[in-house]
Structure 1
Amino acid sequence: MTNILVVDDEVGVCCVIQHLLVREGYAVTAVTDGRQAMDVMARDDFAAALIDLNLADMDGNDVIRAARAARPNMPIVMMSGMVLESGHGPADVLDLSSRILGLHRLAKPFKPRDLSQLMRDILATDTESLGRAVMARQ
């Protein structure tokens, strides 16, 4: 079963995402702070991670950098519901960050079908990339 890591300091958000992904057939590990995320990433393998940018205990970007360092090929989805003082919403914040870091993005609030489609897309792409890499080595 494909294991997904969800990192969000809002317990309700973690529960909703976990419920949606389990219903899609994924195994989900949900944690509510950056330190827990670092611990489980050191211990367990994940096919993908969804990481909120605004965690209570640390900057989500630090968790993303640690995830990148530990598993460079793991797809990472940045999440945010943050609205800037300038009035720019979560999609704007994520668009800038995702272009800089080359990551997937999910603005909160989101529709369940958007999450499902995003996960199918990134995991299919990751599987195809892995298959091409294996074929190239043969």
Structure 2
Amino acid sequence: MRVERAPHVLVVDDETALADIIGAYLEASGYRITVANDGWQALALYERDPADAVITDFAMPGMNGRDLVADLRRRRPDLPAIMVSGYVSMQQLDLDPLLLLNKPVSLATLTRHLRDLLGNTGSGQ
């Protein structure tokens, strides 16, 4: 009998409480979650345990979400990514493909988009 593994999602946001809330919701939805609070921590965690997808805030100190996704995609070009921001437009991001959701976003909407992205890459639940 084949055992399906839960898709691994890296959640990155410098607002610790928000990252933890998103992580807990996604975990309850059947995902395996790793939470990072900045881009540098996210890269280190990804190196130890690569994720199937990333959800990141755009505006973070040190390394913004755009630079984080670009760096992760040098390691895995097809990495599904969702950017959550209240400050940026797709034209400013210049990352394709990338899903941009405006804050505030409902957890149900975020989860639906994540499921769609992972389904398109052969992962998912």
- TM-score class, shorter-chain normalisation, is 0.7 to 0.9
Determine which structure has greater relative contact order: mean sequence separation of CA pairs < 8 Å that are 6+ residues apart, divided by chain length. Answer: 2
Partner of 1:42: 47
Structure of greater Rg: 1
Q: TM-score, normalised by structure 1?
A: 0.78
Does 2:35 match 1:30?
yes
Does 2:106 match 1:111?
yes
Where does structure 2 lack aligned partners over 5 or more consecutive residues? 1-5
Partner of 1:73: 78
Is 1:79–1:94's contact at 8 Å kept on the other side of the alignment?
no
For residue 15 of structure 1, report the CA deviation from its aligned partner: 1.1
Q: TM-score, normalised by structure 2?
A: 0.85
- Structure 1 residues 18-68: Cα deviation after superposition (integer angstroms, max 9, x where no partner): 011011100100010111011011121211001111112222222111111
Is 1:79–1:105's contact at 8 Å kept on the other side of the alignment?
yes
Root-mean-square deviation (Å): 1.5
**Runs of 4+ residues deviating >6 angstroms:** none
Where does structure 1 lack aligned partners over 5 or more consecutive residues? 83-92, 129-138
